[in-house]
Amino acid sequence: MTELKNDRFLRALMREPVDVTPVWMMRQAGRYLPEYRATRSKAGDFMSLCMNPELACEVTLQPLERYPLDAAILFSDILTIPDAMGLGLYFETGEGPRFKKSISTAADIESLSIVDPVKDLGYVIDAVSTIRRELNGRVPLIGFSGSPWTLATYMVEGGSSKDYRKTKAMMYNEPEVFAQLLDVLADSVTAYLNAQIEAGAQAVQIFDSWGGALSADAYQEFSLKPMKKIVSGLIKEREGRRVPSILFTKGGGLWLESMAEAGPDCLGLDWTCDIGDARARVGGQVALQGNMDPSILYAKPERIREEVGRILSRFGQGSGHVFNLGHGITPEVDPEHAGAFINAVHELSESYHR
């Protein structure tokens, strides 16, 4: 076991003392970096890049070569599980992810089986072990998956959707059938994340990208309930230390209390939520991650630094904060602005940890 040279990310997730607030970015290995675009071009297309463990490792490490980030996150896609279930994932230019087959009937759901991550998603598990080896203790590695609700929307709609019409129709008309789909997905996500942990992931995040599209009652039943099942089934300790879990529901600021009660170690916040208010509501139970508006990175570096300072001030003294964006970094961001953001977090946060 290689000793971690920088473990402030893991310590912050456990609300333990740190010297400065740790920072990483959702989609930190992505199209805003010219070196990423070059590697993706070499791979041929996005899925070929995801399915090549060596190239996935290469792009995972690229942002760490540029910036003093406190964590690496596995380069992959949230839709690997439905692809492994035989739905045929592909990407259309300007259209985003699409599936060759979609789920529309009870028979379709009954035909699905729980994914065996080693057998069906071995390229992801190989990427995790490759990245962990190449990191050599530099920073912790984050594994991840999409949430059952979010995965289900893509599977039923056949791709991205603005209103989730087909998914919500199934959810309301056939709730027991829809619950079967969520159960299969919850069991698959649990197995998938545990396989990532066993391969070397030192923390895991569940991306509930579209949970905020649900009503309050529907969120509790169809998004949070399966995520709670996943969290309870995760490996909690490996290599002698806790493996923290992060639950991120975009648009979930209304439900922080029930999210915290689901059992994760940390809640991710989008930018619509005041982090000071969130800390007052649930900071005694969980760490908080976030939550700068990604669009701030289009602003001048001095404005970015000002926003970092504001969020740090709103969180206040002490540990339990992992600085991040409120969603993924966008492709048009100037890499120099991302660097200004990361440096500002480390420089301005030191006074909050004395």
277 among known catalytic residues: no
31 counts as catalytic: yes
Selecting among 8, 40, 98, 132, the annotated active-site residue is: 40
The residue written with tokens 């701030």 in the block is: 296
Catalytic residue among 32, 36, 67, 154: 154
Among the listed residues 11, 36, 67, 77, the single catalytic one is 77
Give catalytic status of residue 352 as yes or no: no
| Active site (annotated) includes residue 217 | no
Give the CA angle between residues 38, 39, 44 to the nearest 5°.
100
Binding-site entries: 27-31, 77, 154, 209, 327
Give residue 102's Cα distance to chain centre.
24
* Cα–Cα distance for residue pair 313/295, rounded to 1 Å: 20
Quote the tokens at residue 1: 């076991």
154 is catalytic: yes
Question: 31, 138, 241, 303: which one is catalytic?
Answer: 31
Please spell the DSSP secondary structure of 104-141, one letter per residue: -SHHHHHT-----HHHHSHHHHHHHHHHHHHHTTSS-E
- Residue 160's nearest CA partner among 96, 250, 85, 83 is 96
The H or E element containing residue 35 is helix 34-43
Mark the binding-site residues for substrate, compressed into ranges. 27-31, 77, 154, 209, 327
Catalytic entry in 8, 11, 15, 27: 27
Compute the Cα dihedral for 312, 260, 324, 62 and give only its sign. Answer: positive
Query: What are the backbone angles phi and psi of residue 320, rounded to the nearest 5°?
Result: 100, 15
Residues that are catalytic: 27, 31, 40, 77, 154
